[in-house]
Amino acid sequence: MERFDLIVIGSGSGLDVANAAAEHGMKVAIIEKDRMGGTCLNRGCIPSKLLLHSADVMETIHNAYLFGIYVHEYSIDYPKIIERVNGIVDPESSEIRKAFDNIKNPRLFPVQCRFVGQKEIQAGDSVITSDKILIACGARPSIPKIEGLEGSGYITSTEALRLKIQPKVLTILGGGYIACELAHFFGSLGTKINIVQRRDFLLPNEDEDVYKKFTDIFSKKYHVYAGHQTYKIRKEGDTFHVLARDGKGKEADIESDQLLVAAGRTPNTDTLDLEKTGVKTNEKGYVIVDELLETSTRGIFALGDVIGRYQFKHSANHEAQYAFANIVHDKKMAVNYEAMPHAVFSSPQVAGVGRTEQDLRRNKIDYMRSVYPYSGSAMGQAIEDREGFVKLLVDRNTRKILGCHIMGTDASVLVHEVLVAMRSGGTIDALANTIFIHPALSEVVARAAYAVQ
C-alpha cells in the first residue's frame, strides 16, 4: 500500500488543489477515471457556451431586420459547429492528461476508484492511503423514473453537446438552466422545441419577476408544457412519444425525433463506497461538509458539485482555495459564500445574486425594490431589447443590497457591478453614487439603483 500526503478524487477544481499541494511539497495522488478537466471543460460550461455562441450569432441574423439589415441567404453547417467545439475542448483536455506523463507529483491514477477502508482507496490495481483526502468527483445528469424511458435511446446534456445529427424536433424533459440553454441552442438553429416542465414556470428558482417573464418569452418561441408531469415514454420507430398530463388531468402526446432529459443532477458518490469511510451524505447522496469543507470523517474534505451547495464552476474554484488552505495550513478558514452569483446563457440571458423577492416576503424581511427596463436606457433602445430589466432588492434599514436579478442582453456581465458592491459590504448608495459611462448598457444598473424605494 502506497502512502500519500494528499489524495484528490476528481480532476475538475480538485486539480487546482492537487497542483497547489504538490508545489507546497506534499506528495499528491489524483484519481480521474474520465477525461481530465472535469465536467466544466468536457461536458459542461465550456462546450455548452461555445455552442451557445453559435446560437447567439444565429439570433443576431434573425433579428437583423430590426436594424434595417436584411439577410436573404444563409445556411447552417451543423457538423462544423460541433467539430469546432470538440476541436477546442478535446485538445485542451488531452494536453492536461499528457502533462502528467512527464511529472511524478502529482501522480495520476486514470482509473475508477472506491474506498476499501476509512482512508484506503482501491485505484485500479493499486491500494493507496493518506491522512488527507479531497472528494471532488462532481455530479452527473439525474434520470427520473418514468415508464418506458430506460432503453428508449434518450440523451442527456452529455450527449447533446456532441450530437452529430441536428434533431428536427426535440423534446426536453425539465425546465432548469440546462434545459433552457440547450433549447436556445437547438431552437436558434431551426429545431422545433418542446419543453415539458412539471413546475408551473421555467427557471422556477429565479426571482418571480424573472421566471414569469422568462416563461412568457420562451412560450412564444417554443412549445412549453408547463405544469405537466411526464408519466410514460413510448417509442414507435424513430419517433418518441412523451405522454404527460397537467394538473387538471388533461393529456398530451408530444412527438419528436429526439428526447433530451435535463431533469437535474445527481452526485457521483454512489460509486465510491463511502460507507467504508464514515463520510455522511444527505438523502440525495450529496456529501455533507462543514463550513471548512470537512466531512464527518476528520481529514476528508469535499468540494464542488458533489456537496450540492452551489453547482457552478466558479463556486467550485472558490471552494478550492479554501480547501487547499484548510488541508495544508493550521489556520482554518470558513468558506465565504457572500454574493455567490449565477447566470443562464439562454436567450434572453438571466443572471442573479442574493435573495429573491419571494424569499424576502416569506421571511418577512423589510425591503425596498426597484425594477428598471433596458428600454429606458439609450443603449437598451439601440440594441432593441424591449424585454430586459434589472431588479434590485435592498434592506430598508441598512440599505444593503439583498439581491439583484437581471434578464436581458449581457445579464451575465452586468451583474458583476452589483457583485463588487455586495461582496465589499457596500450599500445601494455605492452603486447610485458611481459614475457610469453614458450611453453604455450598464446604465440600466445605475438607474435601477437610483429608483430604489
Handedness of CA 104, 109, 115, 116 (dihedral sign): negative
Q: Could you tell me if 284 and 321 lie in one domain?
A: yes
Q: Could you tell me if 355 and 410 lie in one domain?
A: yes
Q: Could you tell me if 353 and 385 lie in one domain?
A: yes
Q: Is 340 within the bounds of a domain? A: no
Model pTM score: 0.95
CATH number at residue 393: 3.30.390.30
Output the pLDDT for position 303. Answer: 98
Q: Is 336 within the bounds of a domain? A: no
Q: Is 151 within the bounds of a domain? A: no
List Cα–Cα distances, 52 to 152, 180, 262, 332, in angstroms.
27, 11, 16, 40
Q: Is 343 within the bounds of a domain? A: no
- List the catalytic residue out of 184, 223, 228, 438: 438
Q: Return the amino acid letter for 299.
A: G
Output the pLDDT for position 40. Answer: 85
Annotated catalytic residue 438: yes
Distance CA 201, CA 209 (A): 11
Range of the structural domain that residue 392 is part of? 348-450
Q: Could you tell me if 242 and 193 lie in one domain?
A: yes
Q: Could you tell me if 248 and 297 lie in one domain?
A: no
CATH number at residue 324: 3.50.50.60
Q: Is 341 within the bounds of a domain? A: no
Q: Could you tell me if 296 and 355 lie in one domain?
A: no
Output the pLDDT for position 102. Answer: 84
Q: Is 392 within the bounds of a domain? A: yes
Q: Is 166 within the bounds of a domain? A: yes
pLDDT per residue of the chain (453 residues) written in tens, 0 to 9: 999 999 999 999 999 999 999 999 999 999 999 999 988 888 889 999 999 999 999 999 999 999 999 999 999 999 999 999 999 999 999 999 998 988 999 999 999 999 999 999 999 999 999 999 999 999 999 999 999 999 999 999 999 999 999 999 999 999 999 999 999 999 999 999 999 999 999 999 999 999 999 999 999 999 999 999 999 999 999 999 999 999 999 999 999 999 999 999 999 999 999 999 999 999 999 999 999 999 999 999 999 999 999 999 999 999 999 999 999 987 899 999 999 999 999 999 999 999 999 999 999 999 999 999 999 999 999 999 999 999 999 999 999 999 999 999 999 999 999 999 999 988 999 999 999 999 999 999 999 999 997
- For 109, phi then psi, to 5°, come to -115, 100
Last residue of a domain, one of 216, 249, 264: 264
Last residue of a domain, one of 264, 282, 313: 264
Domain count along the chain: 3
Q: Return the amino acid letter for 403.
A: G
Q: Could you tell me if 165 and 222 lie in one domain?
A: yes
Distance CA 182, CA 262 (A): 9
Q: Could you tell me if 16 and 121 lie in one domain?
A: yes
Output the pLDDT for position 426. Answer: 85
Q: Could you tell me if 224 and 299 lie in one domain?
A: no
Output the pLDDT for position 39. Answer: 87
Q: Could you tell me if 135 and 229 lie in one domain?
A: no
Q: Is 11 within the bounds of a domain? A: yes
Provide the b/e sequence for 402-412 (b: ≥16 CB within 10 Å): bbbbbbbbbbb
Q: Could you tell me if 162 and 281 lie in one domain?
A: no
Q: Could you tell me if 258 and 292 lie in one domain?
A: no
Provide the b/e sequence for 360-394 (b: ≥16 CB within 10 Å): beeeeeebbbbebbbbebebbeebebebbbbbbbb
Last residue of a domain, one of 328, 357, 376: 328
